Amino acid sequence: MKDRDKQVSFRVNTLKTTDEQVLNKLHEWNIEVTPTSIPHAYITGEEIRTTTLIEKGEIYLQNLSAMIPALILDPKSQENILDMCAAPGGKTTQMCALASNKAFICAVEKDKFRAERLKHNLSLLGAKNVNVLVADALGLDRNMKFNKVLLDAPCSGSGTGNERIEQAWLERHTRLQRKLLSRAIDVTKVGGIVVYSTCSVLTCENEDVVADVLSTGRVEIARIDNTYNCPTATPTIPGVLSIKRQGPYEGFFVAKLRRIK
């Protein structure tokens, strides 16, 4: 039974199958889905969590907003890419799919249990050329250098509807976000790209963090155009993407930074 108030979104895992094959199976099971403006992404108001498509790694349940950062990073064959806070692996496996398993990805996760979940999802979805590093991303050697870095930072989750946020907790996390973004820039080659994202709608976790690193002169904004027609709010920094919590979209923030020195 279709329930528009409980829509879920999923991504077709092109490392194992095609959109056509998935849609044919769903049609056989009388499951209706709606395509979106995001490549290989669909929404449905029907039960899909128990299908064999998930068990076989042919689709991955993921919010539409959470698919945007990897698309903006745009991983390419032979690029060295860092995913700084990688578990459970939704964005890591998406990057593998976008690069057809031809990029070289270092996926960092400091929690050993979450790292095991990351490894499980990498295996399930057929993601290759990924080195899982169980470590604190703040301790990454500054001499490491990547073409591109994705930092989906720990945050309040205010974009998902979490409204119970203690001020002391928020202050600790905004300090952490600044440190993580600074380290992301450290390990990015000059001319390389850093994508910073959160599932937050709070300026202190988003634009304020980006403004802090912009003030160092080490990076500049690489403008993001809303080519995926997400519902957006007006950010305080031109060129970043602020996605509103609306319909199947969670509130999300994405900034693309180019290292210039």
Choose the weakest-confidence range: 41-50, 111-120, 182-191. Answer: 41-50
Three-class SS of residue 12? strand
Residue 1 clears pLDDT 80, i.e. is over it: no
Q: How many CB atoms lie within 10 A of CB 154?
A: 15
How far is residue 22 CA from its own chain's centroid?
Answer: 23
Residue 2 clears pLDDT 50, i.e. is over it: no
Q: For 152-178, how does the pLDDT look when each residue is reduced to its tens digit (9 = 90+)? A: 999 999 999 877 888 888 999 999 999
Q: Where are the alpha helices (DSSP H) in 15-139?
A: 19-28, 52-55, 64-73, 90-98, 112-124
Q: Which residues, at least 6 apart from 249, have a Cβ–Cβ distance to it below 8 Å?
A: 63, 64, 65, 230, 231, 243
Active-site residue, from 96, 199, 204, 230: 199
106 among known catalytic residues: no
pTM of the complete model: 0.95
Q: Give the model's confidence band at 3: pLDDT under 50 very low, under 70 low, under 90 confident, else very high.
A: very low
Quote the pLDDT of residue 5.
54
Domains observed in the chain? 4-61 (3.30.70.1170), 64-259 (3.40.50.150)
